[in-house]
A and B are shown apart, each in its own frame.
Chain A
Amino acid sequence: MSADDQILEEFTSKEYEFGWTVDLEADEAPKGLNEDIIRFISAKKEEPEWLLEWRLKAYRQWKEMVEPEWANVVYPKVNYQDIIYYSAPKQTAKPKSLDEVDPELIATFEKLGISLTEQKRLTGVAVDAVIDSVSVATTFKDTLAELGIIFCSFSEAVKDHPELIKKHIGSVVPANDNYFAALNSAVFSDGSFCYIPKGVRCPMELSTYFRINAANTGQFERTLIVAEEGSYVSYLEGCTAPMRDENQLHAAVVEIKAAKDAEVKYSTVQNWYPGDKEGKGGIYNFVTKRGICEGDNSKISWTQVETGSAVTWKYPSCILKGDNSQGEFYSVAVTNNFQQADTGTKMIHIGKNTKSRIVSKGISAGKSQNSYRGQVHVMKRAEGARNFSQCDSLLMGDKCGAHTFPYIDIENKSAQVEHEATTSKIGEDQIFYCQQRGIDEESAVALIVNGYAKEVLKQLPMEFAVEAQKLLALTLEGSVG
């Protein structure tokens, strides 16, 4: 118990830990969105002609689209002309090693708990750090390169491996897939690219850290992970943003491709600034994440811990195309105060004997609204498909809401699909039992919530699991009593 006590104590005085800003000199585009801005971004990044064309096409399609309204979230509409679409920390020349990186930047990441230099030496996790819109540093690149693994920022990949990018970009999430994906495709500024060659098992966790720093900017990063035949990679993503009164937009796209026998494990701890207690400010997190199990026996696993953002709209999905492929989705979504989350997954079974598993644990507190929205679709040819879904909701307080919208569409008679959902609150008897053992109420709640979310948390890599547990306790701070 002492660990939990410690966590609570550690956080009692804090609201949002990562809410500071740093005075980084930034290179910014003017506000607003038009074809010139896209040309500006593309030129800044010295992109090839085809990519600019691809962006412009996406932009033209985006202009024709309408913002989706079906999600169970309410928020003032975003003024897309009032956003700065490109902001990069100013650097004179491209750093070759960490020693040349702006010391202010290094300090920023140390504050975030990702000290790039230390990380490199101690933990053996390769990190790609993206601030505002631009990747600022990637560690362990050389070690990975020896194995043929490419792990770098998206813009570097465009320069160094254009053939790979051209082949895979937009192949899982097409540019016109949805409103926010189209927006991202038009204006994305950076992100991570990861390529695991045939038969290689990535020896370390790959990790990207996103941070929005400048005001009025939107962050539009794009992640592309390609796992060739028989390879394996575990990928982590983390994010924070400063506390600001206005809402900021984050519209990312993540694409994963898994070839035959490949396995990709993608974990996120999403901790964007959720807004203050009155629901002012916070990040709009409108993200499109999708993976395709192209080859037989491939596997994609999504694990997410969602604690931040004012509004979340996010459905990491798996297209199970290869025979015997597997998709997994583990999620803990916590909302407090005025946060709203509409999140879930889609499992599209196309291949034979495909399996999917969904475990979603929602926790709502304060005046927040938490929705699970998911689809399990078994296509006609998906002989022997199997799905198990479990979505539980925990309500803390009588002013919050928990909603479940599962869509289950089955077109094959041999499919076995099960879905179950429960909604409940923390039992008074459970709390009483803890109290009777000398555990105070707040620690008891943290203990019970951690137990409730354990099935998902245990899917996370070690370092992340610890962070996630702390975050859970922090997000629910003061929601009892």
Chain B
Amino acid sequence: MEKFAGTSIVESLETRFKDFESGLNGQSKSPVHEIRRNALDTLVKKGLPGPKHEEYKFTNLTRAIEKNFDLTAPLSPFSLGSEVVKSALIKGLDAHNIVFLNGRFSPEYSDEIDVEGLEINSLEAALKEDPEKVESLFNSEADFKEDAFVALNTAFAQHGLVIEIAARAIIEKPIALYFIGDSSKDKLVYNVRNLVRAGKFAEATIIEKFDCFGDDQSLTNVVNEFSVAENAHLKYFKIENDSDNAYHISNTHVSQQSVSNFSANTFALNGAMVRNNLNIKLENEGIETYMNGLYLLDGKTHVDNHTVVDHKMPNCYSNELYKGIMDDSSRGVFNGKIFVRQDAQQTNAFQSNKNILLSDKATVNTKPQLEIWADDVKCSHGCTTGQLDEDALFYLQTRGIQKEKARAILLTAFASDVLENIANEAIKTYLEEIITERLEK
């Protein structure tokens, strides 16, 4: 059934891939290109997910793309000034800033990084200078057979970053990646691929932020591949507060080795249609994983968070908390999967999804899913959907707080559970400000 969804898109991509291949001069035999070709073949064979596809049931990206975008169009140039670029940066955050303009690495706006144990290269440069390293990371975590958008990215993503954090290196300042787009003249479509390796005992924080300026639509398709070695600590933030015309697809695939610690914090605050896939594989023992998410939606925004945590080995811990507030005719979709494989005894896995609907036109579709094959485990999930507590609202009003203000206080309190765990003060303050402003409006 789903096979035929997006046929026209796939056909146009085939042509584009051939053009791209012929422009490669000799690189077309490299192993990376081999993977790209396989990814395209998979895409051609399977097509894009239609409305009957279980994983994309509520989020028909294929139709949105068909309607709005030409994936074969060349990348439009970035023509906005430095004022605009600077306005996208997180104020008060002391970080190693890396800036991408329309999906291309911009040396002009990016910081020079000279920190021991941290090596950051653009994907283009890395492919030329150190193809072996790219080969070892490219397609190592994300599987293009599983998801059509990963396949699309694998076949076409030319730009992105390769970040390597050496063993025992502790990177104090966060690494902030800003993806800034310009859709003021034309529609914007780009793929980005980031490859990150955190060595043994390494520690780092990575922040991703997406902004697009302009009235036309934009489509970003991002794939991140993180490999987290033994005892490493990696924190990942994703802030999506894009324009109303922004379509955004992101796949973050992570593998963790023993006693490592990974946390993902996903904030989806605006956009037309946003889809976040977060897949984490716990490959060894003693791992800790945290997944936090907040989606704060209004207008017609549609946000879909799909998470998978795959417990493969014993004695691991995972904790997931996703919260959402839906207003106007927005839609929030959540699907959280916890797999506990047969070997993964003594697993502790928790998941919680809480939603508040503020309008009768808003919808929430949630599916917290547990699949368990091991017996000595503690797993639970909980999920609630409701509205503000009338009693609490009334109580605040009796204390002389106006209804609107009282409502904002309660909603902020609801959202703050997710913010609470953020250690970096600058990020926390920045997000708190956005959220408070949004809720008080």
Contact = CB atoms under 8 A, between A and B. Distances in A.
Nearest to B362: A413
Interface stretch (A53-61, A200-208, A212-220, A404-412): A404-412
A424 B370 CA distance: 12
A449 interface: no
Contacts of A403: 369-372
A60 to B, nearest CB: 21
Interface residues of A, number: 34
A423 B54 contact: no
B373 A401 contact: yes
Given A413-B357, A413-B359, A407 B383 contact: no
Contacts of B411: none
A396 B376 CA distance: 9
Q: Interface SS of chain B: helix, strand, loop or mixed?
A: strand
Contacts of A405: 367, 369
A400 interface: yes
Contact of A420 (B363, B374, B378, B383): B383
Nearest to B331: A411
B275 to A, nearest CB: 18
Contacts of B363: 409-411
Nearest to B378: A424
B51 interface: no
B384 A413 contact: no
A412 B329 CA distance: 11
Nearest to A72: B371
Given A398-B376, A416-B386, A417-B386, A409 B365 contact: yes
B385 interface: yes
Given A396-B375, A421-B380, A425-B375, A402 B370 contact: yes
A421 B368 contact: yes
Contacts of A400: 373, 375
Contacts of A408: 364-367, 383, 385
B74 interface: no
Contacts of B54: 70
Interface in B335-382: 342, 345, 355, 357-360, 362-382
Contacts, number: 114
Q: Interface SS of chain A: helix, strand, loop or mixed?
A: strand
Contacts of B355: 410
Interface string A377-410: 0001000000000000101111111111111111
A2 interface: no
Interface string B372-406: 11111111111111110000000000000000000
B372 A421 contact: no
A240 B221 CA distance: 55
Contacts of B386: 415-418
Given A403-B372, A404-B370, A413 B360 contact: yes
Contacts of A404: 368-371, 381
A80 B38 CA distance: 39
B377 A423 contact: yes
Contacts of B372: 393, 395, 401-403, 423
A419 interface: yes
Contact of A417 (B369, B374, B377, B385): B385
5 tightest CB-CB pairs across the interface, nearest first? A395-B375, A413-B357, A404-B370, A417-B385, A423-B379
19 contacts: A396-B375, A398-B376, A401-B372, A401-B373, A404-B381, A406-B383, A407-B365, A410-B365, A413-B362, A413-B387, A415-B357, A416-B386, A417-B385, A418-B384, A418-B385, A418-B386, A423-B377, A423-B379, A424-B378
Given A420-B381, A424-B377, 7 more contacts: A395-B377, A398-B376, A402-B372, A416-B385, A420-B382, A421-B370, A422-B380
